[in-house]
Amino acid sequence: MEPNDAQARASQLRAELERHNRLYYLDATPEISDADYDALMGELKAIEAEHPELLTPDSPTQRVGGAPLEGFLPVRHLVPMLSIEDVHELREEEIGGGDSDVGLVDWFERFERNLGRSDIALTVEPKIDGVAVSLLYRDGLLEYAATRGDGSTGDDITQNIKTIRRVPLRLPAGAPPVFEVRGEVFMPNEAFNRLNEERDAAGEPAFINPRNATAGTLKQLDSGIVATRPLDVIFHSFGLVEGAEFESVTEFHDLLPTLGLQAGQWFRAAGDLGQLRAAVAELGEARHRFPYATDGAVIKVDEIALHAELGATSKHPRWACAYKFRPEQKQTVLKAITIQVGRTGVLTPVAELEPVFVSGTTVARATLHNQDEISRKDVRVGDTVVVEKAGEIIPAVVKVIVGERPPDTPPYDLYGAVGGKCPSCGSAITRDEGFVAWRCPNFACPEKAVTRLKHFGGRRMLDLDGLGDAVAEKLVESGMVGAPLDLFGLEMPALADLLLDPAQLQSGEESKPRRFGEKKATALLASLDRARQMPLDKWLFALGIPNVGESAALECARLHERFSDVASSAILPKIVSASGLENQRREISPRNRSNPPADEADKARRQEAHDELKAQVTALREELAPLAVSPDIGPVAAGAIAAFFDSDAGRETVAAMADLGIDPRSGNYNPKPEAAGGAGAPLSGTWVITGTLSQPRDHFKSLIQNGGGKVAGSVSKNTDYLLAGEKAGSKLAKAESLGVAVVDEAAFGAMAAGAPPAT
């Protein structure tokens, strides 16, 4: 395509993609299918790959930014990010009335006194339990996004925030030219639960609550991982604004959606203390139905002119306060403790409860984690227990009301309860030394087969349609599927005829058994066909190898071109050996204080062995160095993958894949990132940007990252290039003194277009 045509088509595609994005995320009225959206995105990516000089920082392709960062750069907030003062909690019996909610009244009366007025309009909105972010839009363009940090300086998390499709990369015309807008990033409850189920199935530790999951995600240096996590954002306040003035919090709240920025949906005005109490109480109920976690009510003075008048302490403004809700707790009876067998064979005790309504949903089950947890809380069958939803999401047994315990209730003993056998297959259970969990050691345990199957088809794995709990169970139970790969042998009439359990009717009677049906069966078969083309990392993750999570799978796929290459990998054993030999070397070292040599002869012998090991480690490390293996695949994960391919199960898998003609190809194969140069990675190397350039720094940063380079904050001897604009100062001087190549904007453009670096 001619450059001019390409430019025109690229801007057309960008506008179209952002419009569909808005329709989907803001208006909830999508006009095109996901597949059509992906096709448009694919076309734009192709144009930008051919003409890197046409890339713009607000291009929707930039939502998943290039190479992982080495660290986050600091960002100074233009206006400090303060926190909000907490006011006293309402005790349960006082919600909806009562007159001893002192904290709130105090707060209210204090500013009425300060202002000498008693007719002050307030607003009430949910306090979202997420992670605070500040976004700067300059001339409508997202310049950066930063965490709160210490309130005055945060981390630059622009790459990560851009992956959130709800965040506009460009604001519509008419937006304030300088707009520092603030909000809360969060993970919706449903998405959080799904993520945790998948992590659990993958043998990865679950996140405690959505806020932790969000914070952990935003700390990722690789925006590719962030893009797989379903984050969302709600905006609620502002920092520096130039070119616009808001009279009230209400006006600001109403303006947000017109700029394409999501505001909270629940928002109330309160004219006096009575209305304020009523609104807080209403929110206390309503928040349980929100799709995200909230932990309080934020109360603000509506009139913005009063904010300056009220001022702030060093920590928080006097025009706002946060009213904290306490998690709701309920008592119920523990009817039984059942045992679940996980994908890796771990036996998990689950509390079966007399159903109770807690924080908006009916809770009938809660995990008891393991025997140690049960013993610590002394939970016994028949006990009256207190339950709450941890982080308002995951039901948890908080404690036992010992006084209500029926007489002669024995302590709970997991081993005894299952008679020492796996409740699913009857194998004798085992407990690894130093571990609290009991496991079923049988690889072919049917219960494991079901969880493995569900994992295999999970959204972050091979994304199979219609492979829910009930279907996975029936497929295994009917004998149609044993190992996940058997799925590829499923055929039409039989699959559609699969009988599922009858639906439970209201009255408790059962309806007729249901068929899986043609429609769902067709969808599942189609998704299996798609799975054949899924990239290597998804397959490696889907196979459910213990200790191999999503990031290890991704790094493994960077190092291997095809599935068959992983099976015969020369790299993985090196990673394992390097670490194993290094441990031996340390152990055997004559200078090991915890194991000193017996005498001089021993010392000499050990020195010799030590030097031999050291040479081997050095040689292995030198072989591995050009691959720049990330810590995502350490000796544990590398060893787990190698051991899998060396096991019967692994060999069977390789043979079965070959029979099926499936040899997944890596989507991110790049085993020599450092050595890669030339046309493929025109901007590889470490860059520092300084001075005034024709575009925001972020623009150049994206170009460099897309061109295979890294961007650092300061010039050092590791810097390869300094991109220097007008009025470059100390960084230029330092680069010159260190002999770092200095590139001006024109030369940079030529490099980005593929010309060799001027030396």
Q: Are 353 and 363 spatial neighbours (Cβ–Cβ below 8 Å)?
A: yes
Neighbour-count burial for 238-247, b at 16+ CB within 10 Å, e otherwise: bbebeeeeee
- Closest CB 591 distance from ligand IVH, rounded Å: 51
Between 135 and 715, name the residue whose CB sits nearer to ligand IVH: 135
* Contacting residues for 697 by C-beta, under 8 A, at least 6 apart: 689
Between 321 and 617, name the residue whose CB sits nearer to ligand IVH: 321
Q: From the CB of residue 189, how many other CB atoms can be counted at a distance below 10 Å?
A: 21
Q: From the CB of residue 215, how many other CB atoms can be counted at a distance below 10 Å?
A: 16
Positive or negative, the CA dihedral 206, 209, 215, 217 is positive
- Closest CB 103 distance from ligand IVH, rounded Å: 15
Which is it for strands 294-301 and 122-128: parallel, antiparallel or unpaired?
A: antiparallel
719/709 Cα distance (integer angstroms) = 11
Say whether 467 sits in a helix, a strand or coil. Answer: coil
736/742 Cα distance (integer angstroms) = 8
**Cα 287-293-297 angle, rounded to 5 deg:** 55
Give, as one character, the DSSP assignment of residue 715.
-
- Closest CB 689 distance from ligand IVH, rounded Å: 29
| Catalytic hit among 45, 127, 324, 574 | 127
Give, as one character, the DSSP assignment of residue 205.
P
**What residue type is assigned to position 713 of the chain?**
G
- Closest CB 212 distance from ligand IVH, rounded Å: 16
CB-nearest residue to ligand IVH: 132
Between 293 and 418, name the residue whose CB sits nearer to ligand IVH: 293
227/281 Cα distance (integer angstroms) = 37
Between 231 and 464, name the residue whose CB sits nearer to ligand IVH: 231
Between 127 and 162, name the residue whose CB sits nearer to ligand IVH: 127
Q: How many CA atoms lie less than 13 Å away from 728 in the CB half-sphere? A: 20
Q: Which residues would be at the binding site for ligand IVH (CB under 6 A)?
A: 81-84, 125, 127-128, 132, 184, 236-237, 264, 298, 317, 320, 322
- Closest CB 217 distance from ligand IVH, rounded Å: 17
- Closest CB 277 distance from ligand IVH, rounded Å: 18
Q: Quick check: is 603 catalytic? A: no
- Closest CB 582 distance from ligand IVH, rounded Å: 44
- The percent helix, strand, coil of the chain (3-state, each to 5) is 40, 20, 40
745/722 Cα distance (integer angstroms) = 10
Between 323 and 700, name the residue whose CB sits nearer to ligand IVH: 323
571/556 Cα distance (integer angstroms) = 9
- Among 355, 325, 166, CA closest to 259: 166
524/487 Cα distance (integer angstroms) = 9
- Closest CB 108 distance from ligand IVH, rounded Å: 17
Between 60 and 317, name the residue whose CB sits nearer to ligand IVH: 317
Q: Are 263 and 257 spatial neighbours (Cβ–Cβ below 8 Å)?
A: yes
Distances 245 to 66, 98, 299, 439 between C-alpha atoms, Å: 37, 39, 21, 63
Between 128 and 397, name the residue whose CB sits nearer to ligand IVH: 128
**What residue type is assigned to position 571 of the chain?**
I
Catalytic residues: 127
